Amino acid sequence: MLKLTLILLLGATIASATLINEEVSRVIDLKAHLVKISTTVTLKNDGASSVSSFEYSVEPSHAKQLAYISVSQGGEGGESVNFKLTQKDVAKKLFSVTLPKKLDAKSSVKFVVEEVFAGALSPFPKEISQSQSQLIIYRGNHFYYSPYQTVSQSTTVELPSNTIESYSKFGNPSKEDSVIKYEDSTEFENVPANSQNAMKIHYENNSPFLTISKLTRVVEVSHWGNIAVEENVDIRHTGSKLKGSFSRYDYQRQPNSGASSVKSFKTILPASAADVYYRDEIGNISTSNLYEKDDSVDFEIRPRFPLFGGWKTHYYFGYNLPSYNYLYSRGDLNAIKIRFVDHVMDEQMVEDFTLKVILPEGSKNIKVHLPYEAKREKDELHLTYLDTVGRPVIIFTKQNLVEQHIEDFTLTYTFNRLLLLQEPLLIVGAFFLLFFTVIIIVRLDFSIAHDKMSEARMRVQGVIEKVQSEQAKRDGCYKAYESAVTKFKATKDHSAFSQSRRSIEKDHKEATNSINQLLSKLREDAAEAAERGGIILQPKKVEISRLIQDEQIKHRKSGKRGMKKGCTIVNIQEAFNVHTVDEYFKTRINMVCCWWKCFKNKQ
Amino acid sequence: MARVGIWRMSLEKQDNLLKMLVLAICCILAFSVRLFSVLRFESVIHEFDPYFNYRTTRYLAEKGFYDFHNWFDDTAWYPLGRIIGGTIYPGLMVTAATFYNVLHFFNITIDIRNMCVFLAPLFSSFTSIVTYHLTKELSNSGAGLIAAAFMSVVPGYISRSVAGSYDNEGIAIFCMLFTYFLWIKSVKTGSVFWAILCSLAYFYMVSSWGGYVFLINLIPIHVLACIVTGRYSHRIYTAYTTVYCVGTILSMQISFVGFQPVQTSEHMGALGVFGLCQIVSFVTYLRSKLSPSHFAILWQTMLYLVGALFVGAVGFLTFSGKIAPWTGRFYSLLDPSYAKNNIPIIASVSEHQPTTWSSFYFDLQMLVFMFPVGLYVCFNKLNDYNLFIILYGVTSMYFAAVMVRLMLVLAPVMCILASIGVNHILKTYMKNLDNVVVKDKKGRVKTDNTYPAKNEIATGVVVMMTVFLSLFATHSVWVTSEAYSSPSIVLSARGGDGGRIIFDDFREAYYWLRHNTPENAKVMSWWDYGYQITAMANRTILVDNNTWNNTHISRVGQAMASTEDKAYEIMRELDVDYVLVIFGGLTGYSSDDINKFLWMVRIGGSTDRGAHIKEADYYTPTGEFRVDADGSQVLQNCLMYKMCYYRFGQVYTEQNKPTGYDRVRNAEIGNKDFELDVLEEAYTTEHWIVRIYKVKDLDNRGNPRT
């Protein structure tokens, strides 16, 4: 027991004997729903040896509400240097601060401690009616709470308005407009270590007391050039609760009605944000405005209904970012650098935060560099359009985040660029499969019974197609013949003409022969089919009569043409005409006769 | 030849390609013309019933079919609750959920809401394909294509199937036409295969819409007509007996339908015709075996005997309650004035009102006058299946005239018959168009003396038809965009500067309820808003659009129509925490609760407990319904009036008008300055369209606060 006291005493003497807070000036900002304390401390090493670190302890009554703390030096002119903080006692929020360079004996160092407390303000009365203003109580400490002795100190409390119900009068403070100063009093000189004296300020604060009870941020990275961000927000008004009725009439007509309620607030999105949407479970929320500025996109969010004390709402919004601003890659190695938590509203306070980063399918070797500690949850898989094995999802959670936490984090991973082709190939493959199946079904015969009729029909169809192509050839011959005739008319070169005529006639003969062959084949086929039970030629009949009509018209036309030309070279032309017309009709009529016969037989 | 040369296709293939092209365009048109509301507003579910369907579909997609089937919903009809699985036609939800699950299986992560929103347009595309096939069976493929085109844009059908209108009718019309198509097929072929397919389609139809009753009456009527006109054949016998037996057994698998197909009078016609078929077949058989004189004796005896037995049996079953009495909805079909006189809850629905002439033209335009042409063509070459479409046309015409919502059943047959008519006209005159001009030897044009100006007349008729058809398309698109594409949950109006003002008050209020009331809060409102409140606000409600319990609705009506202290008793009895009313007086939104109030009075007064509520008390002595100072005192002191006009007396709504000027009724309200004793204003939306009141608890001594 004695030993323990001795050690304690020793510890205390070492701590208090060597370091002294020479001068402390505190600014307590109570304008919003967060308490922001900025303390400028001049710390002097009064001991004999130099020290490399000192202790900093958060005021015990607010230790649980601490959301952010930083200790930094300088700032005036030069870069500010952040000191390293290590937590010694989690519950009491006792920190050990490492100085950038050792503090020699009898020398001093000046630094600034920034603290943000969430939920340190409590409304009183707890319930107000719509016409009342919101009154808030702040309970703090008149003294700077420190494990060291403080020589001189001053405290400035900044309030949002002049309306102050009451404030503690310890040390005879001065009040000017909305600022209360605790200074220049003997009470504030040579205050021993760890001393406390209750400060209480009861004042009007109508600033939005909004707390984001849950924020889920989803960042979906695509190597096709887009990063999609979606934020899911649950908001609660944590000020004085609304008592009694909400009157829309008063709210619309009386200017001071519902002073503490929140109609709208502003979310600042990155400057390159596009395709912004704002929705909730039941659809689009139409009450919002978007202002594009040079360095940001200001998104004015108006919830469906004004938020009074105790009311809550839920919504989500999202936008797309071009990936070239945030995604860096060298070979297969990629790095994404984007904000860990982003701005939702001014003076924001997030109780429960989840960040989900969805990486492209096939990303590996994922490494993370966070600006501050956060808990990494188990990875998940996300399956959406054109995914096969799923996209890896990296999840982080963290509690109590404020505006000061808006910082970038970096995530590196490897991604094979060839995998980019996977999605288009999937689509191509799917369509190929579809068409292929259709081709298979249409082209192949899956029927169990043997259908002779349709087979014969298909055969006839094939022959007809061949005949048609031969006929096209013959058409070509006629055209060539005509052009040869015209040429002959112009040049009167008989030998050239007869030469070309011979070759054309040869072609023509070949074509005619093959047509005749085909026709005879067709005749056989048709006869066979007719024997076997007949072919249905009804659709064909129409087609053939159409064909014949076409031919007739054509012949009438070409015949007329021939007559005109015939004035000069009657003999050739006439021979040609007779020959062709004859040929045409013979073959055509043959075909028709044959089909008619088949058709009749069938019937 | 040239075409063959370019495409290398036979005429048959070209024909197929052309048909497929036209059908594909019809499908795309049918889908895209229904997207006005999505483009103008957002992908949101419309109106009232679709919200219930959407909610149940979400439940089905999340929890699976068995949970859905056994779902007892305690958030509706407090304190009675509702067995969802046994009181709905599940076809719609199952269809949507199946699509949803299949797509999700392929990792197409479509939102269930979007699936619901776009289901009706999707099925409209399917409907136009089915219409093509049905018309092709009845007439030819030319008429089929025209019918498909008509079907894709006819406003009468669009009115129920725009994107977001997620209701039974959206898929039921598809099912109905599909069943008809298969029925025609089975009548044509007399094959059991088609008949079985037909009964499967009928099963799908039964599972998706209560309108299947029309179908199960129409098919027997067709069979009966065939028997009467001497067209009865073995094909019809096979088709009908198969369809009736299999179809009825299948339809009884839907738990909401249950034993109705063999018990209720709506289904008796089908059963009767089924019996008749057997008798006719038997008689035909006997006649072929007996001599004419013997047969005559037997025929007469049997006729009297069977007739007497039948009447006796039906009478016995009806009185013993085995056959359900003729339900009100059925009576109102036969006698338009029946519902209005007897069942206020049926008459109160605007879509149960008789159809006006203008709405026929509005919804069908040129189809109205092409319909008789089609009928004429069908009569001209009457056969078994033309007879069916004629019967369908005539009966649905009658039903559509009785009830506005049955316009939906009429629209397809209008399309089919009109397309047959249009096709006939075009076919007749198109032939005369490519009439080759024949010249005589002197080069003069030969004219046909029996048919002068043949070509010109043909051109004129074709041009006229083209104009009509294009006018029809224009009209349809205009109607769709102007009349049928408003989601009704979001209202929009033109502002003074020409800009669009959106009134999103409904969702504002429902969302407020969802987040800022206790989870087990009971909300009382008129039944119209029940489905929306359960779906969007997720709170328990007393009555909703499934108006199955008249007394419960009547009780709510009584609360609305009573004075504050009387209403307080009813509200305490029903455990009400919040009361929600719709009020349009500030914005001029006319379908608000004051305009519906007379129905609340009527329905409230229609039961024993509400006997003291008399409609006449709410009128002025001259029989007018007025909200101003001349209005009845009973009206001005009832709960509904007070909730709507609470503090409204201080508001200036229009220039040069006194405060409290109601812009719907165009009157200055009579009772301006009053306080509420038992309620307090909990929330009023931005444009005052929805007002929510909280029911005060008993005071400290347990006394009511009046």
Return the closest-CA partner of residue B172 out of B140, B129, B203.
B203
B655 touches chain A (CB under 8 A): no
B235-253 burial: b if 16+ Cβ within 10 Å, else e: bbbbbbbbbbebbbebbbe
- DSSP letter, residue B382: -
A278: helix, strand or coil: strand
Among the partner residues B11, B536, B680, nearest to A282 by beta-carbon distance: B536
* Chain B residues within an 8 Å CB radius of A314: 515
At residue A92, the pLDDT reads: 74
Q: Do B609 and B554 touch, CB atoms closer than 8 A?
A: yes
Q: Mark yes or no for CB contact A305/B511 under 8 Å.
A: yes
B499: helix, strand or coil: coil
B4 touches chain A (CB under 8 A): yes
Burial class (CB in 10 A: 0-12, 13-18, 19+), B694: buried
- Please say which residue of B396, B421, B446 terminates a domain: B421
Q: Mark yes or no for CB contact B685/A312 under 8 Å.
A: no
Q: Mark yes or no for CB contact A383/B109 under 8 Å.
A: yes
DSSP code string of A336-369? EEEESS--SSTT-EEEEEEEEEEPPTT-EEEEEE
Query: Is residue A567's pLDDT more than 50?
Result: no
Question: Is B416 inside a domain boundary?
Answer: yes
- For B421-455, the pLDDT digits (tens) are 999 999 988 888 766 666 666 666 666 667 777 78
C-alpha distances (whole Å) from B129 to each of B145, B473, B490 are 9, 18, 33
Cα(B157)–Cα(B407) distance, integer angstroms: 8
Beta pairing class for B578-582 and B522-524: parallel
Q: Do B38 and B163 touch, CB atoms closer than 8 A?
A: yes
Q: Mark yes or no for CB contact B11/A542 under 8 Å.
A: yes
Chain A: residues touching B (Cβ < 8 Å): 244-249, 280-287, 304-305, 310-314, 383-388, 461, 464-465, 468, 471-472, 475, 539, 542-543, 546-547, 550-551, 554
Q: Do B238 and B195 touch, CB atoms closer than 8 A?
A: yes
Tokens of A280: 């909730």
Cα(B157)–Cα(B125) distance, integer angstroms: 12
At residue A565, the pLDDT reads: 40
Same domain (yes/no): B136, B231: yes
Q: Mark yes or no for CB contact A282/B108 under 8 Å.
A: no
Which residues of chain B fall below pLDDT 50?
1-5
Q: Mark yes or no for CB contact B42/A304 under 8 Å.
A: no
Question: Is B196 inside a domain boundary?
Answer: yes
CA distance B58 to chain A (A): 12
Instruction: Write phi, then psi, for A599 (nearest 5 degrees).
Output: -60, -45
Same domain (yes/no): B227, B371: yes
Question: Is B136 inside a domain boundary?
Answer: yes
With tokens 């007391």, the residue in question is A209
With tokens 């560099």, the residue in question is A369
- For A212-234, the pLDDT digits (tens) are 999 999 999 998 889 999 999 99
List the alpha helices (DSSP H) in B574-650.
593-604, 633-636, 639-645
| Pairs of residues, one from chain A and one from chain B, whose beta carbons lie less than 8 Å apart | 89
CA distance B250 to chain A (A): 31
**Mutate which of A234, A248, A538 to test chain B, going by most B C-beta atoms within 10 A?**
A248
- DSSP letter, residue B356: P
The helix or strand, by DSSP H or E, that contains position B133, with its residue range, turns out to be: helix B112-138
Quote the mean pLDDT of chain B: 87
**CB contact set of A424 (below 8 Å; sequence gap of 6+):** none
* Chain A residues within an 8 Å CB radius of B12: 539, 543
Among the partner residues B109, B515, B536, nearest to A312 by beta-carbon distance: B515
Same domain (yes/no): B51, B178: yes
CA distance B682 to chain A (A): 5
Q: Mark yes or no for CB contact A386/B107 under 8 Å.
A: yes
- DSSP letter, residue A41: E
Return the closest-CA partner of residue A407 out of A341, A345, A344.
A341
Same domain (yes/no): B561, B681: yes
Question: Is B371 inside a domain boundary?
Answer: yes
Q: Which strands form B690-695's sheet, in the order they lie side by side?
A: B540-541, B522-524, B578-582, B690-695, B679-684
* Chain B residues within an 8 Å CB radius of A539: 12
Tokens of A93: 């929020």
* Chain B residues within an 8 Å CB radius of A247: 647, 681, 684
Q: Do A569 and A511 touch, CB atoms closer than 8 A?
A: no
Could you count the other beta carbons within 10 Å of the beta carbon of residue A304? 24
A70: helix, strand or coil: strand
Tokens of A431: 């369509």
* Chain A residues within an 8 Å CB radius of B41: 284
With tokens 């710390």, the residue in question is A43
Burial class (CB in 10 A: 0-12, 13-18, 19+), A375: exposed
B1 touches chain A (CB under 8 A): yes
Question: CA angle, A188 as apex, A187 and A190 as ends, to 5°?
Answer: 100
Cα(B384)–Cα(B212) distance, integer angstroms: 22
B44 touches chain A (CB under 8 A): yes
- Chain B residue with minimum CA distance to A469: B5
Among the partner residues B107, B650, B680, nearest to A244 by beta-carbon distance: B680
How confident is residue A576, by pLDDT bands cut at 50, 70 and 90? very low
Query: Is residue A554's pLDDT more than 90?
Result: no
Cα(A150)–Cα(A152) distance, integer angstroms: 6
Q: Do B586 and B663 touch, CB atoms closer than 8 A?
A: yes
Q: Mark yes or no for CB contact B107/A384 under 8 Å.
A: yes
Could you count the other beta carbons within 10 Å of the beta carbon of residue A567? 8
Q: How many domains does chain B have?
A: 2
Mean pLDDT across A181-204: 87
Instruction: Write phi, then psi, for A337 (nearest 5 degrees).
Output: -125, 110
At residue A492, the pLDDT reads: 78
Q: Mark yes or no for CB contact A305/B512 under 8 Å.
A: yes
Question: Is B448 inside a domain boundary?
Answer: no
Question: Is B443 inside a domain boundary?
Answer: no
**Mutate which of A131, A235, A249, A285 to test chain B, going by most B C-beta atoms within 10 A?**
A249
Among the partner residues B5, B508, B681, nearest to A304 by beta-carbon distance: B508
- Chain B residue with minimum CA distance to A263: B686
Same domain (yes/no): B523, B385: no
Instruction: Write phi, then psi, for A521 (nearest 5 degrees).
Output: -60, -45
Q: Do A393 and A381 touch, CB atoms closer than 8 A?
A: yes
A401: helix, strand or coil: strand
- Chain B residue with minimum CA distance to A551: B1
- To the nearest 10°, report the CA torsion of B351, B354, B359, B364: 90
- Chain B residue with minimum CA distance to A248: B684
Question: Is B54 inside a domain boundary?
Answer: yes
Give the domain CATH number at B563: 3.40.50.12610
Same domain (yes/no): B269, B136: yes
**Mutate which of A233, A245, A463 to test chain B, going by most B C-beta atoms within 10 A?**
A245
Q: Mark yes or no for CB contact B107/A383 under 8 Å.
A: yes
Radius of gyration for the alpha carbons in chain A, expressed in angstroms and rounded: 46
Same domain (yes/no): B184, B40: yes
Return the closest-CA partner of residue B692 out of B556, B577, B600, B530.
B577
* Chain B residues within an 8 Å CB radius of A475: 1
**Partners of residue A232 on adjacent β-strands:** A216, A316
The amino acid at residue A223 is H
End-to-end CA distance of chain B: 94
Quote the mean pLDDT of chain A: 81
Q: Do B472 and B365 touch, CB atoms closer than 8 A?
A: yes
Among the partner residues B108, B681, B685, nearest to A247 by beta-carbon distance: B681
B79 upstream amide cis, omega within 30 of 0? yes
Same domain (yes/no): B613, B506: yes
* Chain A residues within an 8 Å CB radius of B680: 244-245
Q: Do B639 and B556 touch, CB atoms closer than 8 A?
A: no
Residue B597 structural domain: 502-695
Return the closest-CA partner of residue B65 out of B87, B103, B108, B95.
B95
A8-28 burial: b if 16+ Cβ within 10 Å, else e: eeeeeeeebebbbbbbbbbeb
B490 touches chain A (CB under 8 A): yes
Same domain (yes/no): B532, B397: no
At residue B340, the pLDDT reads: 56
Question: CA angle, B613 as apex, B610 and B615 as ends, to 5°?
Answer: 130
Could you count the other beta carbons within 10 Å of the beta carbon of residue B361? 14
* Chain A residues within an 8 Å CB radius of B443: none
**CB contact set of B335 (below 8 Å; sequence gap of 6+):** none
At residue A534, the pLDDT reads: 38
Beta pairing class for A241-242 and A127-128: parallel
**Mutate which of B683, B691, B694 to test chain A, going by most A C-beta atoms within 10 A?**
B683
Q: Mark yes or no for CB contact B647/A247 under 8 Å.
A: yes
The amino acid at residue B524 is M
Q: Mark yes or no for CB contact B504/A304 under 8 Å.
A: yes
**Partners of residue A392 on adjacent β-strands:** A381
Q: What ipTM was assigned to the predicted interfaces of this complex?
A: 0.83
Query: Is residue A553's pLDDT more than 80?
Result: no
Return the closest-CA partner of residue B414 out of B356, B475, B483, B360.
B360
Q: Mark yes or no for CB contact B109/A384 under 8 Å.
A: yes
**CB contact set of B579 (below 8 Å; sequence gap of 6+):** B523, B524, B525, B571, B639, B643, B679, B692, B693, B695
Same domain (yes/no): B185, B274: yes
Mean pLDDT across A552-565: 50
Tokens of A233: 């927000």
Residue with the larger pLDDT of the pair B409 and A548: B409
Tokens of A117: 């407390």
Q: Mark yes or no for CB contact B515/A384 under 8 Å.
A: no
Return the closest-CA partner of residue B559 out of B649, B705, B645, B678.
B678
* Chain A residues within an 8 Å CB radius of B11: 542-543, 546
Cα(B419)–Cα(B425) distance, integer angstroms: 10
How confident is residue A556, by pLDDT bands cut at 50, 70 and 90? low
- Please say which residue of B362, B397, B421 terminates a domain: B421
B681 touches chain A (CB under 8 A): yes
- Please say which residue of B421, B455, B470 terminates a domain: B421
Same domain (yes/no): B405, B507: no
B286: helix, strand or coil: helix
Mean pLDDT across A28-50: 88
CA distance A307 to chain B (A): 10
Q: Mark yes or no for CB contact B511/A282 under 8 Å.
A: yes
Same domain (yes/no): B414, B534: no
Q: Mark yes or no for CB contact B490/A286 under 8 Å.
A: yes
Question: Is B162 inside a domain boundary?
Answer: yes
Return the closest-CA partner of residue A274 out of A227, A337, A211, A210.
A227
* Chain B residues within an 8 Å CB radius of A464: 10
**Partners of residue B155 on adjacent β-strands:** none
C-alpha distances (whole Å) from B481 to each of B158, B501, B610 are 10, 18, 43
Could you count the other beta carbons within 10 Å of the beta carbon of residue A289? 11
